[in-house]
Structure 1
Amino acid sequence: MATLILVRHGRSTANTAGLLAGWTPGVALDERGAEQAAALRRRLDGVPIVTAVTSPLQRCRETLRPLLDARPELQVHPDERIGECDYGEWTGRKLSELNDEPLMEVVQRQPSAAAFPGGESMRAMQARSVEAVREWNARVEEEHGENAVFVMCSHGDIIKSIVADALGTHLDHFQRIHVDPCSVTVIRYTRLSPFVMRVGDTGDLSGLAPREESGAGTGVVGGGAGAP
């Protein structure tokens, strides 16, 4: 029952410029994003993270840098499967312009049918990212035990598609999920089912420290008492 902490990268220069960055190289955190990354390190104080996985893109690596500087023992593993969606010909364009594209309505209403010209489909994006999460979860649990906590830094559409899978929700509903820059989403994968613990959390994370639980791997009838 390893616990996955999914972090969306901090606010980037592309976010503030209203651009769809995709895999564009050299997209860094802006000043606010750097502050968010520093705050993330403080928010994770007391959470015993055993390893880190990141999208290879600069804005994700910069988001994890304060955490890694504070915990030099942590290994970080780049994984292209949790890299941003390949938006193809849409990459680098203004979102305000893309809103007029006929494909945008498909992206919003039926993402499972959306494929970006010269890029990938949203179904392929979800498949690769979920595969990565499941493989890393099994690896972390095997190497560090069932109470291990690990962190992944990725992108908005990637995280939303992973949450949709964990909830058993069709990809066509993933636009109903919202994750802000540098927000934290937490999923525990058990033998029976994934449990989505938090989505888009920007507050205190101390409750993520592992604790003994009765009936581990099952839903808590009545909702449970929460973190101590």
Structure 2
Amino acid sequence: MADGMCLELVVVRHGLTQWNLDKRYQGQRDIELLLPDALPDMDRLRNELAGESFDAVVTSDLGRCRQTLAHIAEGRDWPEARQDQRLRENDFGDFEGRSWEELKDSEIYRDWIDSAGELAPPGGESAEQLRQRLQAALADIFATAKAEDHRKVLVVTHGGVIRELRRVYDGVPFWEGVVGQAAGRRWIFNEQNVDGPIINGQTSHGKRGEWQCSSSSEVPVPASRTA
């Protein structure tokens, strides 16, 4: 087995919205950022990424992600972003616009929580449906990286997307993989030139056994670790 290229994937969540503040499920509703309240978190992320360059930038097409990207990319010589609907938040169906307080007495809602999203909310999508579209989106990112020799890619997306990626690559239970506003993870992937599948370790959602996650870290780095 010989190692191939290395890809750094920086995946971050959008900034604060009013619905985040109200603890309402946003899902695929096109909710804008809450300004100026969203700025401190986004400024911290912008500062964290100062001096970094990216070979490609991909974002959810929803406005809160595009707004976040516009803020952190201002004045930076980054590539023009590609929008991808497959990077949208989970479709929460009838739960969208409602809070835990409003839903907590619903048996359907409690069953959904207990299933870690494996059950689909009424009118929404299941965790498996979320996984399928994320697998397709990531497969395209990895294929493009290989074809165009990308070494670092920025992705701006949603909390549920990052929770699912943390479940796959970090082994963190879905509900425990929460990241804050304008925060996320930095994953390092190594291409593995193998004839058969990789048995140990997590692989990307491209060709089975082609990419292996070798490192995961927080973005931005917690202040306690930079002091």
Shorter-chain TM-score: what band?
A: 0.7 to 0.9
Counterpart of 2:169 in structure 1 is 166
- Structure 1 residues 60 and 29, CA gap change in structure 2 (3 angstroms): farther
Whether 2:25 is the aligned partner of 1:20: answer yes
What SS does the aligned partner of 1:70 have? coil
Equivalent position to 2:157, from 154, 157, 171: 154
Matches within 5 A, 1:206-221: none
Alpha-carbon separation, structure 2, partners of 1:122 and 1:30: 31
CA RMSD of aligned residues (A): 2.2
Give the 4+ runs in structure 1 shifted more than 6 A.
none
What SS does the aligned partner of 1:113 have? coil
Counterpart of 2:102 in structure 1 is 97
Structure with greater helix percent? 1
Whether 2:153 is the aligned partner of 1:134: answer no
- Structure 1 residues 123 and 78, CA gap change in structure 2 (3 angstroms): same
What SS does the aligned partner of 1:27 have? coil
How many residue pairs end up in the alignment? 199
Shift in Å at residue 74 of structure 1? 1.8
What SS does the aligned partner of 2:221 have? coil
Counterpart of 1:7 in structure 2 is 12
Counterpart of 1:220 in structure 2 is none
Q: TM (normalized to structure 1)?
A: 0.78
Higher deviation after alignment, 149-158 or 92-101: 92-101
Whether 2:174 is the aligned partner of 1:180: answer no
Shift in Å at residue 115 of structure 1? 0.4
Q: TM (normalized to structure 2)?
A: 0.78
Q: Could you report, residue by residue, the CA deviation over 1:166-221 in whole angstroms, capped at 9, with x for unpaired residues?
A: 24x48xx211212111112011222342134114x33379xxxxxxxxxxxxxxxx
Whether 2:199 is the aligned partner of 1:194: answer no
For structure 1, the residue ranges without an aligned partner over 5 or more in a row are 206-228
Alpha-carbon separation, structure 2, partners of 1:20 and 1:118: 14
Shift in Å at residue 151 of structure 1? 0.6
2:120 partner amino acid:
A
Equivalent position to 1:71, from 73, 76, 82: 76
- Structure 1 residues 36 and 2, CA gap change in structure 2 (3 angstroms): same
For structure 2, the residue ranges without an aligned partner over 5 or more in a row are 1-5, 193-211
Q: Report the identity percentage.
A: 24
Higher deviation after alignment, 63-72 or 87-96: 63-72
